[in-house]
Structure 1
């Protein structure tokens, strides 16, 4: 069975690596028969190269790389494929398959909703408005897909309103999103991070939100929620099937 190589972004913030490691441990627990390894694109060890080199040295013929990324932006479309192309050149005997990112899977939106409920916000609380806070992208279509998640997050709740903000230069920023909800009479505002793990950007988000409205509250990042393991394993299984079909048709 091909190893699953889970690739995270990496961060100087030690909280990020701890959360990613916990999420990968949950994947292992779900599939104890599967060889699951974790690595990082930048700033943390082990690197993608180190893990792939180890897998090749151990004699595996195939490895499936699952990007633990919520968006299909530069890291998924350019950075990681470049790293994997170099690894294939080093190890021509190892078939390296890149799966789709975790992406905008609705199960991850369910995980965000669970994080909100976990801080004491009932699904039928009509006083509450939620701001889903994401990184933002230079790709306008990617931002539109993120905006569409607001309605998914609202789901079967009775929350007053759910909207989206972006932590980078993309608008609306968190202050603008809070102002929008206030203008519509929302009494209680929750900032819900559309992030796998905490780090510099979530700290920036929190500081900006508190400056705009000191009474806002925050839910946790998605983290090691069980649904992350479900999505990651689905990405792995789909990639394995696709690779098998490619070999049969070659």
Structure 2
């Protein structure tokens, strides 16, 4: 079974995660047959490991991790690969893969341009 993890940075203020919760809910509405979990690098739960554990318990055998970051900064270049590698070792029965940061996708960049244009 395939599943997806939407991976964000995390923050001290719990309101910061509200758009992530809405994003996960949109996924559930539009892709009800593919489980989704949120995961956070720091300061919020669940962690990447906890999200993989949860999806694995549902029967996921292939999980794609989507970093919901604007770009490939230090966290994605340095911290994320360590977490991903640890999960791959802990869950060898689950194939884990990761996409580039969402902010590197031309369609996402265009959506931001369109948002700005609508604001004028």
* TM-score interval for Structure 1 and Structure 2 normalised by the shorter chain: 0.7 to 0.9
CA distance in 2 between partners of 1:108 and 1:88 (Å):
28
Matched, 1:98 2:98: yes
| DSSP-derived class of the 2:110 partner | helix
* 1:61-80 equivalence runs, <5 A: 61-80=61-80
Checking the alignment, whether the CA contact within 8 Å between 2:35 and 2:55 is kept in structure 1 is no
1:210 aligned residue: none
* 1:220-231 equivalence runs, <5 A: none
CA distance in 1 between partners of 2:10 and 2:68 (Å):
10
1:50 aligned residue: 50
Matched, 1:14 2:14: yes
Q: List structure 1 segments (4+ residues) > 6 angstroms apart after TM superposition.
A: none
* 1:197-212 equivalence runs, <5 A: none
Runs (5+) with no aligned partner, structure 2 = none
Cα RMSD of the aligned pairs, angstroms, is 1.8
1:109 aligned residue: 109
Rg bigger for which structure? 1
Q: Offset of 1:106 from its aligned partner?
A: 2.8
Q: Offset of 1:21 from its aligned partner?
A: 1.2
Q: Offset of 1:39 from its aligned partner?
A: 1.2
Q: Offset of 1:118 from its aligned partner?
A: 4.2
CA distance in 2 between partners of 1:105 and 1:50 (Å):
27
Larger RCO: 1 or 2 (CA < 8 Å, sep 6+): 2
CA distance in 1 between partners of 2:63 and 2:106 (Å):
26
What TM-score do the two structures reach when normalised by structure 1?
0.44
Deviations 1:214-233 (A, max 9, x none): xxxxxxxxxxxxxxxxxxxx
CA distance in 1 between partners of 2:20 and 2:60 (Å):
24
| DSSP-derived class of the 2:63 partner | strand
Q: Offset of 1:56 from its aligned partner?
A: 2.6
CA distance in 2 between partners of 1:78 and 1:113 (Å):
29
* Residues 59 and 112 of structure 1: CA distance in aligned 2, closer, same or farther (over 3 Å): closer
CA distance in 2 between partners of 1:25 and 1:57 (Å):
20
CA distance in 1 between partners of 2:36 and 2:105 (Å):
21
CA distance in 1 between partners of 2:61 and 2:104 (Å):
31
Matched, 1:84 2:84: yes
Q: Offset of 1:78 from its aligned partner?
A: 1.9
Aligned residues: 120
